[in-house]
Amino acid sequence: LPAKFDWRDKAVVAPVQNQEACGSCWAFSVVGAMQSTHAIGGSQLEQLSVQQVLDCSYKNEGCSGGSTLRALSWLKQTRVKVVPRSEYPYKAKTGICHFFSQSHDGVAVKNFIAHDFSGREEAMMGQLVERGPLAAIVDAVSWQDYLGGIIQHHCSSQWSNHAVLVVGYNTMGDVPYWIVQNSWGTTWGDEGYVYIKIGGNICGIADSVAAVLL
């Protein structure tokens, strides 16, 4: 594995988004992974509709919350094509599901791989490099006050409550860390990113990690 790896360097990570006052992190995380995997496959990086997943993934509860694995399971089962964001823009509110024909442009999930990498974060680094950005769930209670730097304390595992996108890692310095894109806008954290120490399953970053196959 390379000592550091960042999918942003390959221009396959979309800009940081802002979920606003809507519990849609699970949809941002899944759609972020889809967008990047699609671009890694050779397509142009295109932002896809988070609102479509929010409205239509009936196994979840829209702005009231949801799970990345349930959203991926729904996307895989239904083979729904997620349309470009411009055609189904984000409203930060749960709405009525809009249907598109299968001939409509969009990206469908063929499969996904989900694992608990606790105690195996090096293997998780391998998955990130091999598969693309990873949808992960974390305990983000202490993130209310986060300004920047590498989180090494005050973060539990196995009490996950937030979904994010892991886009890279860096093991070059004294403290190896994951590079994580959040969906709280660019005014939060380091331009919308948070760094989490690798090893010890800090914030439960390795508890439930999914890669998308398109």
Partner 1 sequence: SFREQFHRRYEVNSEEFTRRHLYFQNATERHAYLNSLSAGPQSAKYGINRFSDLSQKEFRDLYLRASADRAPLFSGLKTEG
Q: Which residues bind partner 1 (CB under 8 A)?
A: 19, 21, 23-26, 29, 63-70, 111, 113-118, 120, 123-124, 126, 137, 140-142, 144-154, 160-163, 173-175, 184, 187-188, 195, 207-210
Residue 200 exposure: Cα atoms within 13 Å on the Cβ side: 14
Task: Check if 38 is active-site.
Answer: no
Exposure string (b/e) for 62-95, b if CB count within 10 Å is 16 or more? Answer: bbeebbbbbbbbbbbeeebbbbbbeebebeeebe
Residue closer to partner 1, measured from CB, 106 or 176: 176
Residue 38 C-beta: closest distance to partner 1, Å: 19
25 a catalytic residue: yes
The token pair that represents 59 in the structure block: 């196994």
Residue 34 zone, left/alpha/beta (φ > 0; ψ -120 to 50; rest):
alpha
CB 185 → partner 1: shortest distance, Å?
A: 8
In DSSP terms, which residues pair with 21 in a beta bridge? none
Q: Is 170 a catalytic residue?
A: no
Q: How far apart are CA 184 and CA 123, in angstroms?
A: 28
Closest distance between partner 1 and the C-beta of residue 87, in Å? 25
Q: Which of 22, 162, 201, 203 is catalytic?
A: 162
Q: Considering beta carbons, is residue 84 or 200 the nearer one to partner 1?
A: 200
Q: Which is nearer to partner 1, 104 or 154 (CB)?
A: 154
CB closer to partner 1 out of 106 and 177: 177
Nearest approach, Cβ of residue 79 and partner 1 (Å):
17
| Residue 17 DSSP SS3 | coil
Give the side-chain half-sphere CA count within 13 A for 147.
Answer: 0
25, 56, 155, 203: the active-site residue: 25
Known catalytic residues are: 25, 162, 182
